[in-house]
Amino acid sequence: MSLDPIVALRGPTTRQRAPGLRSGLGGVVRGLLLAALCAGVVGSTASGCPFCPQSLAPSLGEQMASAQVVVVATWVELVPIENSEKKHTRFEITRVLKKHPLGPAKGEAAIVPLERPGPKGAIEIWFGTVSDGKLSWTYRTTATGSAIPYLEKAPAADRPLPQRLDFYAGYLEHQDELLAEDAFREFASAEFKDVKAAASSFSAANLRDWLTNERIPGARKGLYGLMLGLCGTAEDEAFLKRLIEPNVDEIRLGIDGVMGGYLYLTAGKGLPFIQQKKIADPDAPFPETYAAMQALRFLWSYGGDRVPREQVLQVVRGLVERPAVCDIVINDLARWKDWSVQDRLMALYGAKEYNLPTIKRAIIRYQLASLRDVPEGADPESLPHVVAGRRHVETLREKDPKRVAEVERLFFPE
């Protein structure tokens, strides 16, 4: 059998980790800020783990579910091409994990029209789809022998997700990095309610070890902090607090998830600590404050059974006083329809540290959004936030007419 070279070109030969991040306001953090600002006051909660990278490739289970043909191919040899210095590569199909009439059979030779060095016996997993009577290989990954029983034992895609996560929990930080990363991807794509439902399968001892292990990618530690918040005890409250306490002037990947897990585990008792250490302290580094803000967003979206939303709002409002995150917080408050800072924002408009276009636009959006928060059948004139919002918008039109017109055009088109 001769294979299309797409097998050699599509998909990484090894699973790639999330790229590293640098400290300061550059790189990824700057991108996050811009994304939040451009989103305006209308936001949505992305599916998947709230503290995991959202650009991960599909897991092997997801690949299995979407593929119609899945085989294990073993490297045999390089095959010389007549009158050419180039070579093709011969594989043998040693296992068929998902059959199809157009797929290869066990023992069949497969020639890839590209030179792919061995070593002999190296294992790859190939995934293919069939369309218009033709088999196309869409993804491949190198693997070890342990990946085969892993795929064979993995629960079917139609099983309830918490049951599937019970299985994958046993492979987090597996000695085979392919399996460890793949299990992480399963959790990263799961919604919080499903991760929560699988909490009985988590090992608090393992999670504590992983959170303090410098060799484990930081991108995974946000998930592990959240998981410990779901299964931990009072002992783990103290453990998470110790991890959070240092104010480090660099990005600590995953610390937002550790804060989120801590706040969830403490049922809000930890809010004063986060507020004092990461928000009210003017010397708290930006990355730490931003991570706290992400944890508070999580608590607002998913922690209603643990912490009243008004308590979350009280802390979030304090972030308005931090110019570095003020614009993003204003957008959150508008999305959550909290109009309690209308007058305070007008006092900040154009003030020394707040005299930035991003903050000014956020304040204008906030006041304009307040005018639209009118329940069906209600009289706008009976709503204090609408009356105040109208007055503030008129003031802003007099003070900064071009910017108000720009915001109306971009974010509130008629």
Q: How far apart are CA 37 and CA 60, in angstroms?
A: 35
Q: Give the pLDDT score at 411.
A: 84
First to last CA, the chain: 60
Q: How far apart are CA 74 and CA 106, in angstroms?
A: 11
Q: How far apart are CA 389 and CA 391, in angstroms?
A: 5
Q: Give the pLDDT score at 27.
A: 37
Q: Give the pLDDT score at 9.
A: 33
Name residue 126's beta-bridge partners: 71, 140
Q: How far apart are CA 280 and CA 340, in angstroms?
A: 19
Q: Give the pLDDT score at 1.
A: 62
Q: Give the pLDDT score at 30.
A: 36
In 3D, which of 201, 234, 286, 231 has the Cα closest to residue 30? 286
Q: Give the pLDDT score at 40.
A: 31
Residues in the chain: 414
Q: Give the pLDDT score at 165.
A: 97
Strand ranges for 83-215 from DSSP E: 87-98, 109-112, 123-131, 134-143
The answer to whether 72 and 102 have CB atoms below 8 angstroms apart is no
Residue extents of the structural domains in the chain: 6-13+58-150, 158-307, 321-414
The answer to whether 207 and 228 have CB atoms below 8 angstroms apart is yes
Looking at 3.40.390, 1.10.357, 2.40.50, 1.10.3470, the CATH number of the domain 6-13+58-150 comes to 2.40.50
Element (H, E) at 76: strand 69-80
Taking only Cα atoms into account, the Rg of the chain, rounded to an integer number of angstroms, comes to: 26
The answer to whether 180 and 215 have CB atoms below 8 angstroms apart is no
Residue 289's alpha-carbon distances to 67, 121, 227, in angstroms, are 43, 51, 22
In 3D, which of 293, 235, 286 has the Cα closest to residue 259? 293
Q: Is the peptide bond before 119 cis (omega within 30 degrees of 0)?
A: yes
Q: What is the DSSP letter of 45?
A: P
User: For each successive 10 residues of the chain (414 residues), what is the average pLDDT?
Assistant: 46 33 35 37 56 86 93 95 90 95 94 90 95 92 92 92 96 96 95 96 98 95 98 96 94 96 96 95 93 96 94 95 94 97 97 96 97 95 96 97 95 76
Q: Give the pLDDT score at 45.
A: 45
Q: How far apart are CA 148 and CA 229, in angstroms?
A: 33
Q: How far apart are CA 83 and CA 187, in angstroms?
A: 51
The two structure tokens encoding residue 219: 């991108």
Q: Give the pLDDT score at 4.
A: 53
Q: How far apart are CA 136 and CA 84, in angstroms?
A: 27
The answer to whether 165 and 198 have CB atoms below 8 angstroms apart is yes
Q: Give the pLDDT score at 85.
A: 87
Q: Give the pLDDT score at 12.
A: 35
CA angle 140, 215, 182 (to 5 degrees): 30
133: left (phi over 0), alpha (psi -120 to 50) or beta: left
In 3D, which of 206, 290, 209, 214 has the Cα closest to residue 255? 290
State whether residue 83 is helix, strand or coil: coil
pTM score, whole prediction: 0.84
State whether residue 210 is helix, strand or coil: helix
Amino acid at site 73 = A
Name residue 70's beta-bridge partners: 98, 127
